[in-house]
Amino acid sequence: MKTALKSITKRLKADGIRTKLGKENWCHSTLESILTNEKYTGNAILGKTYKPDVLSKSRQKNDGKKAPICCAENTHPAIIEQGVFELAKKEMHRRRENAENQIGGGKYSSQYPFSGMLVCGICGSKLRRHVRTMGSGKRTASWGCCNRIVNGRSECNSHHVNAEVLEAT
């Protein structure tokens, strides 16, 4: 998810679009905040937090049981259309779920042409590219089951595929 947001921040900077504070550099957390805040759609949810008592200075997240939550629609001009906002929210949720449910996701998971496309025929985990050292000392790139690489041969007894063989195929 952060990779997609970082590419958007680079594009915003290249297009000369500044943040609301007038800065040239965008943070991916700023974009994530925009894409998850309903206020950019022209609506407002009131009562997300509450004060447990009058003397307390801290606020707590409201689950709707302690204090009422109200939704005020069309309170101000929208910057993001409601449909686009819902699609972005759904896509962010899907990507977050995929990242949590897969072994081998990470910042290098889309660096190579076959990244994210190869699946282990034995356990169904993704294959990831890594460099192995052969008995002769030669280092060679290959693709292996993430489940086997992380958890060992007891979890998955698959074999590595050399990157050269895969590309030739």
Q: What is the pLDDT of residues 35-63, one digit of tens each?
A: 889 999 999 999 999 988 888 889 999 98
Q: How many CB atoms lie within 10 A of CB 155?
A: 16
- Pairwise CA distance, residues 35 & 21, whole Å: 18
Q: Are residues 97 and 119 in the same domain?
A: no
Say how many C-beta atoms besides its own lie within 10 A of residue 38's C-beta.
Answer: 16
Instruction: Based on the fold, state whether residues 111 and 148 are members of the same structural domain.
Output: yes
The alpha carbon of 168 is separated from its chain's Cα centroid by a whole number of angstroms, namely: 32
Q: Is residue 96 a part of any domain in this protein?
A: yes
pLDDT band at 166 (very low <50, low <70, confident <90, very high): confident
Does residue 112 sit in the same domain as residue 37? no
Distance CA 38, CA 42 (A): 7
| Residue 79 located in a structural domain | yes
In a shared domain, residues 97 and 21: yes
Judgement on whether residues 35 and 115 belong to the same structural domain of the protein: no
pTM of the model: 0.52
Note whether 36 and 10 are same-domain residues.
Answer: yes
Instruction: Provide the domain count of the chain.
Output: 2
Residues 35 and 80 in one domain: yes
Task: Return d(Cα 117, Cα 78) in angstroms, integer.
Answer: 38
- 9 with 89, same domain: the answer is yes
Q: Are residues 32 and 77 in the same domain?
A: yes
Separation CA 120–CA 77 (nearest Å): 49
| Claim to verify: residue 147 and residue 162 sit in the same structural domain | yes
Please compute, for residue 160, the number of CA atoms within 13 A of its CA located in the half-sphere on the CB side: 17
Q: For the chain, where are the alpha helices, taking DSSP H only?
A: 2-14, 28-36, 82-101, 146-151, 163-168
**Domain interval for residue 159:** 107-169
- Report the alpha-carbon distance of residue 52 to residue 112 in Å, rounded: 51
pLDDT of residue 105: 53
How far is Cα 67 from Cα 45, in angstroms, rounded to an integer?
13
- Residues 10 and 71 grouped into a single domain: yes
Q: Do residues 155 and 75 both lie within one domain?
A: no
Picking from 56, 80, 101, the residue at the C-terminal end of a domain is 101
